[in-house]
Amino acid sequence: MLTQLKKTFSTIGVKLFLCFWLIAICSIALTRYVSTQLEQESIILPAHPNDLRKLKHLTKRITAKPPRSVKSLLKHIPSFRGAGILLKNKTTNKVHSNKKRFIRNVIPYLEKNSFNHIASIQFPYVRITGPETVEVNHVSYQLYYASKGKSPHISALVMQLPFWVKIIIPLLISMSISWLLARSLSKPLLKIKDTAKSFGNGDFTARVERINNRGDELGTLAKSFNVMAEKLEQGINAHQRLLADVSHELRSPMTRLQIALALANKSSENPTELEKHLLRCELEVTRLDEMIADVLTLSRLENTYQQALLTDIDLHELLETIIDDAQYLANEKSINIEQQLSQPCCLPADNQLLASAIQNILTNAIKYSPENTTINVNLQQTVDRIKITIIDAGKGVPEHALPELFKPFYRVSDSRERTTGGTGLGLAIAQQAILTHKGTINAKNNHSGGLTITINLPLNPTAL
């Protein structure tokens, strides 16, 4: 029981509620203390029109026919039903009244306080309006008109409430407001916690709903969580697909390797056949080694998305080096690589990653270009971006296959990949390298045949 109680009071909702309520109680106590020091039994209001009219009427009657004494005035002055008259001596502050019972309690108040401007003073069950100055037997008095209230003013009702009621009402109100405020803050946090728990238990589609529409920091937190969950889901799905693809792709070279080994075993007495099968084993082992290396490279790029080692490089110089190296491979097919590069073009980049991406694309272009053709490499710089295009003269790919080219192990057709070799990971690795630099990469078919790969890189990737 004690453990459960401790757990309950340790939740953020209860902590927020107690915090807000404590602040509210302190505020109420301080306000109550100050108001007690300044407390009055009355409230000053603007002069009541009806009372003021009657007060003016009485003043006019007294001025027109001055009485001989205060006693005579209070005895003979015409009174209104449910009303009373008070006279305050301006010199002695003594207050006289016409003995109406309901106004006796206000006499001490008038004797203690002085007023110079006409107003209505509200007491629990009586309202007095005044003062008007009159003279009785050459002595100045302040005249007040008192009317008995049929229903007390709301402020009067509050003043008459017991002390404990005056305390309990603000406490209940502050408790309700504090609880609503604490709940409005803790409920989104609990929702985010439950969603994170579901995500951690394997439900990668779990997202924080509705809260992400809030305009405060909790809404921003929910949006950030959803973005994180989306990226994690994409990463997990990508790795699952990659694992499935690797498992599938490893079967072919492993099967061929097993067949080659079996044939080599059977051809142990025939040196020519044995050498042929052993060379096939070596080829399949090499392909397995390349595939594993490419898978590791792709996995590393996906897991270190934000960890590129950026240094200022001259892209013009880098492209010239890559093109010179690729030309040796292109010479085997009598392919010429033409370049149209702008003058020195510097940007922050990871030299190794960017070189690897461009090499993969250029190597791909050479593989699928016919003999005696030309590959064009262009470099253009704008105000804030750099554009690299690599245009080959191959057959291109079907339009529906263009968005799929950068997926791991994707092949337009099995025969295409089998005849040209490779692991099917080159463009996927290139895409991850470009994404690491906050850039974009896409492919499109040329009108005259062939494929164009376009790379767009920001001149300042760290600002994005």
- Structure tokens that stand for 403 in this block: 């968005």
Look at the block and give the residue holding tokens 């490893």.
250
Other C-beta atoms lying within 10 Å of the C-beta of residue 53: 12
Give me the pLDDT at residue 416, please: 41
Give me the pLDDT at residue 417, please: 46
Q: DSSP letter string over 238-298?
A: HHHHHHHHHHHHHHHHHHHHHHHHHHHHHTTT-HHHHHHHHHHHHHHHHHHHHHHHHHHHH
Give me the pLDDT at residue 390, please: 92
The residue among 103, 99, 179, 90 whose CA lies nearest residue 132 is 90
φ and ψ at 89, to 5 degrees? Answer: -70, 120
How many Cα atoms occupy the beta-carbon half-sphere of 443 within 13 Å? 23
Per-residue pLDDT of the chain (464 residues; tens, 9 = 90+): 667 666 665 566 666 667 677 777 777 666 665 555 444 456 788 888 888 888 888 888 888 888 888 888 887 776 666 688 888 988 888 888 887 777 877 888 888 888 888 998 887 778 889 899 888 888 889 999 988 865 555 555 555 566 666 677 777 777 777 777 777 777 888 888 888 888 888 888 888 888 777 777 777 888 888 888 888 887 777 677 667 666 666 666 777 778 878 888 887 778 888 888 788 888 778 777 776 776 666 666 665 544 567 888 888 888 888 888 888 888 888 999 898 887 778 888 888 888 888 888 888 888 888 889 999 999 988 888 889 999 988 888 888 888 788 877 666 654 344 444 455 677 887 888 888 888 899 999 988 788 999 999 988 776 65
- Structure tokens that stand for 78 in this block: 């015409």
Q: How many helices (H) and strands (E) in the chain? A: 13, 13
- Structure tokens that stand for 252 in this block: 């072919």
**Per residue in 266-279, pLDDT tens?**
877 788 888 887 88
Give me the pLDDT at residue 314, please: 87
Other C-beta atoms lying within 10 Å of the C-beta of residue 236: 12
Q: pTM value?
A: 0.47
**Per residue in 168-224, pLDDT tens?**
777 777 777 777 777 777 788 888 888 888 888 888 888 888 877 777 777 788 888
The residue among 148, 139, 420, 140 whose CA lies nearest residue 131 is 140
Strand-pair partners of 452: 391, 444
Torsion of CA 401, 406, 412, 414, to 10 degrees: -160
CB 132 within 8 A of CB 142: yes
Amino acid at 27: S
**Vertex 390 angle, CA 387 and 391, to 5°:** 130
d(CA 238, CA 408): 9
Give a three-class secondary structure readout of 335-346: CEEEEECCCCCE
